[in-house]
Chains A and B, each alone.
Chain A
């Protein structure tokens, strides 16, 4: 791939704390290698800001290989930037052209309050998970894997749902700030496996109740979540969540 260096103009949301008002600030990012990731570009910018004695831009990041789900950035109107099926750390600067202005915003949702700059509090998702996204097991040795027969297709569908990294892009992309894709992935992951059957009905009811309590919006089936999900989780999981919920409501 052709290597180039580009100059960019960044419009970044700066907010000192959760309680203070924020605003966009413009930065020049010059001589940016097209082989850098989007986060590395921010590292270069922050290095400069630190050297100039200024407050660096706070952003979440951890693994930088697309599996931790930390790098929450809304780039030019898209969760995790313009590429499909990627996180921000997997987005490379070759996605942009020389002289382009890039607007970077934090995830916007009532349930995701901004902590500082581009960092948001996503613990609402953790609390949904804690409300039922687990399998209770008694202590003792793990039983032999072959003692639990699982249909291969169901195992694959469960695995596809379990790909969810809890990054919150679905909430950020949804016009209603709905966490249905996240919750549906977590519910599906267990509903499809034999291990998940024991708590199947209480799980879906508790997780949906927690989701509503956290202040996420309701699903209107626009499909924006599916389009932005870095793990390309399908909204067929949302239909499954609806089925599970209806079934649990009517029979529990």
Chain B
């Protein structure tokens, strides 16, 4: 979970950075330039395959972990400690991950499928910026994206430091740093993503 999680977190940095180009408010010129660069670059195409492998492994590992761990307590407790002994999001990684999976299906159907079709089938250049603008005119889509991003944020806040712990990195000297780096990373990434649908919906960018 930790290794695949790390690779997915690296991807999110690239994704948020490139998509963040929309905030230049230049009618998507910079953004489309980089989107074009990434989609017409064999190294990036290869990395995309790696990304999907990582993503699928992460999901399979997560589901197996959930199923196996769940079976280890056949008789449940009548009274549970709630948040007294652990954080709710650390216990809800499976639930948050499932929400993310549903979001991801919707997300890929909005942007990824069209982009790939344009790249491999029709061969015409896709204006991704215009497409974003169009998709985010619908209120329900904006709501779905905001829910997805909030789930992502909590998933990352636990996942970041948890991945370090799994890899055996835990020392009193660096623990506070890892924890705050995880919080800063999660909040910056998710804030950037959360702003995108809102910016289009409310017309903050043209």
Contacts and interface: CB of A to CB of B under 8 A. Distances in A.
Interface string A216-239: 111111111001100000011011
Contacts, number: 100
B167 A242 contact: yes
A235 B86 contact: no
A78 B85 contact: yes
Contact of B73 (A11, A103, A177): A177
A246 B168 contact: yes
B82 interface: yes
Nearest to B90: A222
Nearest to B171: A236
Contacts of B77: 74, 77, 105, 108
A216 B72 CA distance: 6
A28 to B, nearest CB: 19
A218 B79 contact: no
Interface in B84-107: 84-87, 90-91, 93
Nearest to A76: B79
B166 A221 contact: yes
A108 B93 contact: no
Interface residues of A, number: 37
Contact of A224 (B75, B81, B161, B172): B81
B41 interface: no
Contacts of A224: 81, 85-86
Contacts of B69: 175-178, 217-218, 220
Contacts of A227: 84-86
B109 interface: no
B46 interface: no
Given A221-B166, A236-B170, A240-B170, A228 B72 contact: no
Given A110-B71, A227-B86, A242-B165, 7 more contacts: A103-B78, A109-B72, A176-B69, A218-B65, A222-B90, A236-B170, A242-B166
> Which 9 pairs between the two chains have the least Cβ-Cβ distance?
A239-B170, A243-B168, A176-B69, A77-B79, A217-B72, A227-B85, A222-B86, A177-B72, A221-B162
Interface of B: 65, 68-69, 71-82, 84-87, 90-91, 93, 158, 161-162, 165-172
Interface of A: 11, 24, 74, 76-78, 103, 105, 108-111, 173, 175-178, 215-224, 227-228, 235-236, 238-240, 242-243, 246
